[in-house]
Structure 1
Amino acid sequence: MNKEKFEKGLEIRKSVLGSDYVNKSIQNADDFNRPMQELVTEYCWGEVWARPGLPKKTRSIINLAMITALNRPHELKLHVRGAINNGLTKEEIQEVFLQTAIYCGVPAAIDSFRSAKEVFEEMENV
């Protein structure tokens, strides 16, 4: 593991997903899933998210579209929060899901709307 990329990834991951979530993920890692936490932090966040070519807001838009296409609601909820943290509005998230409805399928987009609505309600009640 590249310690420098891991630390940079940890910083970015916390800024997008929130320190509480990331700290809990790292602290709850065991011998079985710790390598996955390290891989995600170092490569997804420390290598790719750290690149200067796209701002975080754009990366969030791309992630929301891809996660919708893959129909991964747990990850989508996490990245809806990240998208809000990265400056996206509800209206922009809505547009991403409408766009994905056309190119990835209406059922996938409907699930994303449903998941995002749950996140928005949770965030409003905090």
Structure 2
Amino acid sequence: MDQKKFDAGLKVRREVLGAAYVDKSIANADDFIKPMQELVTEYCWGEIWTREGLPKKTRSIINLAMLTALNRPNELKLHLRGALRNGVTKEEIKEIFLQTAIYCGVPAALDSFKTAQQVFAEEDE
């Protein structure tokens, strides 16, 4: 493991997903899932999210569309919260999901709209 990339990834991951969530994920990682937590932190966050080519807001927009296409609601919840932290507005999220309805399918987009409603309600509390 590249400790420098892991540390940089951990910093960005905490900024986007929230320190409490990230710290809990790492603390609760047993021997089975620990390698996956390390891989995600080092490569997804330390290698890609730290690149200068795209701002975090754009990366969040792309992730919302891809997670809708892949129909991954658990990851979508995390990245919805991250998108809000990265400055993506609810109006922009709505437009992202309308766009995905055409290119990824209406059922996938509907699930994303429903997931977003849940996240927005939790964030508004």
Q: TM-score, normalised by structure 1?
A: 0.99
Give CA-to-partner distance per residue, 1:66-89, whole Å, 9 cap, x none: 000000001101100000000010
Cα distance in 2 for residues equivalent to 1:49 and 1:105: 27
Matches within 5 A, 1:25-40: 25-40=25-40
Runs of 4+ in structure 1 displaced over 4 angstroms? none
Cα distance, 1:93 vs structure 2: 0.5
User: Is 1:110 aligned to 2:116, yes or no?
Assistant: no
User: Is 1:5 aligned to 2:5, yes or no?
Assistant: yes
AA aligned to 2:59 is: R
Matches within 5 A, 1:1-126: 1-125=1-125
SS in structure 2 at match of 1:52: coil
Cα distance, 1:101 vs structure 2: 0.4
Give CA-to-partner distance per residue, 1:25-81, whole Å, 9 cap, x none: 000001000000000000000000011000000000000000000000011011000
Identity %: 72
Cα distance in 1 for residues equivalent to 2:89 and 2:7: 29
SS in structure 2 at match of 1:53: coil
- Alpha-carbon RMSD across the aligned residues, in angstroms, is 0.3
Q: Structure 2: where are the runs of 5+ without partners?
A: none
Q: Structure 1: where are the runs of 5+ without partners?
A: none
Cα distance in 2 for residues equivalent to 1:60 and 1:123: 17
SS in structure 2 at match of 1:92: helix
Cα distance in 2 for residues equivalent to 1:70 and 1:49: 20
Cα distance in 1 for residues equivalent to 2:46 and 2:56: 13
AA aligned to 1:31 is: D
Cα distance in 2 for residues equivalent to 1:84 and 1:23: 20
SS in structure 1 at match of 2:51: coil
Q: TM-score, normalised by structure 2?
A: 0.99
